[in-house]
Amino acid sequence: MAKGKAESVSELVSPLPRYLEIQRDLQARIASGQWIPGSRVPAEHELQAQYHCSRMTVNKALSALAKAGLIIRRRRSGSFVAMPRSQETILNIQDIKAEILAKGKAYRFEILTRQERAMTTDDALQLRVTPGGRVLALSVRHFANEHPFVVEDRLMNLAIVPAAREERFVVSPPGTWLLDVVPWTNAEHVIQAELADQRIATLLGIPKKSACLAIERRTWQGDATITWVRLTYPGDRHQLTSHFRPGGPLIP
């Protein structure tokens, strides 16, 4: 078997790489419950014989399943179907401009306040850095089809993003601008429910003390905090949704 590819005619009807075929097949058996959690997966050399391919191909499929958490592999012992994991979900918190445009709505934003200042104690706390240096504080209101969509309160660390000092944020809002300008390596999200205070109520055009969804995000580049932002959405009009397939996007 010195050929590069499969010899079967089925290749013509299924242009799927061999390792993916195997991967899906095994995944289906796990998902269907045919192989229950804890049970043993055939060894590589067995699958190699079953699927009529080399061990490396089988290994690629099994490694992917292991990385996705569907199976657990131990040397000498073998591979085993993993227990169902804790319910992880991938939340896609998009850039606001993209989010609104994706809904087919007209997007507009306005800068409410803009202040460059020496970092206050509160600022340092929010950014989780030692005080010192300067920050840019911004408040922005985003509109979808001319309706208030979300209020954004942001702090930018000018030590990391000095270019922001000159930026007027005319074409792109601060969040979008930052994504384009600064590479980030780490982010943290906190999601909370809270009541609208007077300012938020006015800005969003909702009654005072109605429910709001607040998303706070801190973004780092290495150890340095780039920005802190708080997004306040009307709770009844906005919701975060997400789908999850265990094993991740194995079948894209």
18 or 97: whose CB is closer to DNA?
Answer: 18
Segment holding 67, helix H or strand E: helix 55-67
Asked if residues 208 and 125 have their Cβ atoms less than 8 Å apart, the reply is no
Q: Which of 24, 25, 37, 55 binds DNA (CB under 7 A)?
A: 55
* Interacting partner of 55 out of DNA, its own copies, none (Cβ under 5 to 8 A depending on kind): DNA
Q: Which of 80, 143, 169, 184 binds its own copies (CB under 8 A)?
A: 184
95 or 167: whose CB is closer to its own copies?
Answer: 95
Closest by alpha carbon to 147, among 240, 242, 238, 239?
238
What tokens appear for 66 in the block?
A: 């292991």
With binding defined as CB under 8 A, does residue 235 bind its own copies?
yes
Q: Going by C-beta distance under 8 Å and a sequence separation of 6 or more, which residues neighbour residue 204?
A: 148, 150, 151, 196, 212, 232, 234
- What CA–CA distances, in Å, run from 189 to 65, 146, 161, 186, 214? 28, 27, 21, 10, 10
19 or 228: whose CB is closer to DNA?
Answer: 19
With binding defined as CB under 8 A, does residue 209 bind its own copies?
yes
**What are residue 20's DSSP bridge partners?**
none
DSSP 8-state class, residue 216: E
Site for its own copies in 30-49 (CB under 8 A): 30-33, 36-37
Binding part of the chain for its own copies, among 16-24, 109-117, 131-139, 235-243 by CB under 8 A, reads 235-243
With binding defined as CB under 7 A, does residue 49 bind DNA?
no
Q: How far is the CB of 76 from DNA (least distance, A)?
A: 3
Closest by alpha carbon to 123, among 218, 45, 53?
218
Binding part of the chain for its own copies, among 2-10, 108-116, 155-163, 207-215 by CB under 8 A, reads 207-215
* Interacting partner of 49 out of DNA, its own copies, none (Cβ under 5 to 8 A depending on kind): none
Show the site string, 83-122: x = touches its own copies by CB under 8 A, - = not.
-x-xxxxxxxxxx--x------------------------
Say how far residue 243 (Cα) sits from the centre of its chain: 12
Determine the straight-line distance between the first and last CA of the chain, rounded to whole angstroms: 31
- Please give the residue ranges that form the binding site for its own copies (CB under 8 A): 30-33, 36-37, 84, 86-95, 98, 179-180, 183-195, 209-214, 217, 221-222, 233, 235-236, 238-246
